[in-house]
Structure 1
Amino acid sequence: MPIQSFLNYLSLEKKYSKHTTVAYLNDLNSFQHFCNKEYSNQSIVDVNYAQIRNWIVNLVEANISNRTINRKVSSLKSFYKFLQKSKDIEVNPLAKHKALKVSKKVQVPFSEKEIIAVLNLLDDKNDFESLRNKLIVELFYSTGIRRSELIHIKIGDIDFANETVKVLGKRNKERYIPLIQSVQKTLVKYIKFREEINTNQSYLFLTKKGKIIYDTLVYRVINNYFSSVSSKVKKSPHIIRHSFATHLLNEGADLNSVKELLGHSSLASTQVYTHSSLGKLKEIYNQAHPRSQKN
């Protein structure tokens, strides 16, 4: 079972999350379904590049974005690299494949005013869901954590003595992030309400029924609240993460420090957030440089 062996490799050796592993499986299944239909149930282990190319054309004709197609093909390429290592195939059929061109999306972060406006919306409310939602927004903005990281925070990960939260990031890498005073205050209030929920869960964030919160719930919380204060097209947890990094860099934070807080493995990943800070740099430059055109 090459596919199952590959999935085991991703989860056990590469330490990929269950969510990421499932995404790989879905991409492989998508191609296998195509092969079943077009090539009489041919196994994806035995295909050639021409057949993969036909699948790519099929995806393009179905109006799938180039970015999504590249991700699907990348999953296949990793699969064939694994099969080469395990001696199941001799040649990777995607070895010379070039990714489709994609336009770079400029993600616009929320302004500090928009963040504050959302928190003000929740300030006067004192019930379980409102405090939970406020804590979700505050944690996202004050720590820059990912959605999956927030969902899987456990009560035991909160260290009030050291004012930190332990986060389990990609590839099961742990990191500790400082908790500012305002977040700690919201945490204390929320935990009191949480203690009244009938549950055996150790996770910090729960639904009213005592179940662990889920991806769509978190997205809905962010999208709903920010829709009332922002006209930006995209309103998601990742945009708050983007805002966290951008605002820190605008205030002069060291790039390496931001990298550590975000849980990035390389500076290249963190540098995608620096383009938003160029406006601030230009403003400072224009104000300070002797030769700038001041109004």
Structure 2
Amino acid sequence: MLTNQQAYRDYLQKEKNYSLHTVAAYLKDLSEFEQFLKHRDDDAALEQVAYGQIRSWVVELVEKGILNTSINRKISSLKSFYKFLLKTKQIELNPLQKHKSLKTPKKVQIPFSEKELEMVFDENDYPDDFEGIRNRLIIELFYTTGMRRAELISLEISNFSPYAKTLKVLGKRNKERILPLLDCTVALLNSYLEVRKTFVGSSSGNLLILNKNGHKVSETFVYRLINNYFSNVSEKVKKSPHVLRHTFATHLLNNGADLNSVKELLGHASLSSTQIYTHSSLSELKRVYQDAHPRSQK
């Protein structure tokens, strides 16, 4: 019979489809906390821990000189584990339910990590209704296409081709580009269109992303949505659609994508030359994109 930790590992690998690196990081943090508990009490069990014990671990980490950002990441790993135990009915109360992250100094703007993205897709509740599916779709589109905020707001339903798995975007200077879509993004778009039709009806026009009143969303709304969701998982100072755009590019490059292909996906003006376009066909972009994006297997 599997232990809770083994079941948790399988859950991360098979159900959440996390990378081996991310799974190892989660389990390492969990093991460190378990060692802390055993050092104080041989009979201590992760399933029976109280918040006071976790708080004591935090104090010990602070005294060892561990940075607050690193401590917050370790606690995030514990949160994920206890959420799993709660989901599988191994515990009745999450000991970290009311925990507040340690304060951290302001940092230079940097992209989100793969772990932070996995957390924002995993640890936040997305209700199975119009607003819940729409919110998840907005985050998904930013992270899996790298589009700009203005581009997302102006998307029309007709821009989406479920069969070709593409999305046509109108960029700066009215320059159009066609973006390949991951299977998970296509599925989410289809789900959103179904609930959108039920929620706002056919009189809402052709705009893809709508607010709860059936109208066009504002730039402020989109910014606040991204900021709110990522505030739950990241201590970065800047949490915006533009950071997600940078994150998209960074993660593709880190996973081996060609720089010119990524720049074309982003629609940068420097890629408008004939030479660039003749060397980067849509089919090649699709291949690079599917192979390189962290969520391509979701």
SS across alignment from 2:137: helix
For 1:194 and 1:120, the matched residues in 2 are separated by 23
Q: What TM-score does the superposition give when structure 2 sets the normalisation length? A: 0.53
Unmatched 5+ residue regions in structure 1?
1-104, 268-295
Structure 2 residue aligned with 1:234, among 222, 238, 246? 238
For 2:126 and 2:173, the matched residues in 1 are separated by 39
Structure with greater Cα Rg: 1
Q: Cα distance, 1:201 vs. partner?
A: 2.0
Structure 1 residue aligned with 2:260, among 256, 259, 275? 256
In 2, are the aligned partners of 1:201 and 1:210 still within 8 Å (CA)? no
For 1:183 and 1:169, the matched residues in 2 are separated by 20
Structure 1 residue aligned with 2:210, among 206, 211, 222? 206
Aligned twin of 1:114: 116
Aligned twin of 1:138: 140
Structure 2 residue aligned with 1:220, among 220, 224, 227? 224
Q: Cα distance, 1:106 vs. partner?
A: 4.8
Aligned twin of 1:128: 130
In 2, are the aligned partners of 1:226 and 1:235 still within 8 Å (CA)? yes
Q: Which amino acid aligns with 2:123?
A: L
**Deviation per CA, 1:54-106, whole angstroms, max 9, x where unpaired?**
xxxxxxxxxxxxxxxxxxxxxxxxxxxxxxxxxxxxxxxxxxxxxxxxxxx95
Q: Which amino acid aligns with 1:131?
A: I
For 1:231 and 1:107, the matched residues in 2 are separated by 11
Residue 122 and residue 185 in structure 1: after superposition, are their counterparts in 2 closer, same or farther (change >3 A)? farther
- 1:172 and 2:193 equivalent? no
In 1, are the aligned partners of 2:124 and 2:229 still within 8 Å (CA)? no
For 2:148 and 2:163, the matched residues in 1 are separated by 24
Q: Which amino acid aligns with 2:141?
A: L
In 1, are the aligned partners of 2:108 and 2:237 still within 8 Å (CA)? no
For 2:117 and 2:144, the matched residues in 1 are separated by 11
Q: Which amino acid aligns with 2:127?
A: K
Aligned-residue RMSD, C-alpha: 1.8
For 1:206 and 1:237, the matched residues in 2 are separated by 17
Aligned length: 164
Identity of aligned residues (%): 57
SS across alignment from 1:195: helix
Unmatched 5+ residue regions in structure 2?
1-106, 272-298
1:1-295 aligned at under 5 Å gives the runs 106-122=108-124, 125-196=127-198, 197-198=200-201, 199-266=203-270
Residue 264 and residue 106 in structure 1: after superposition, are their counterparts in 2 closer, same or farther (change >3 A)? farther
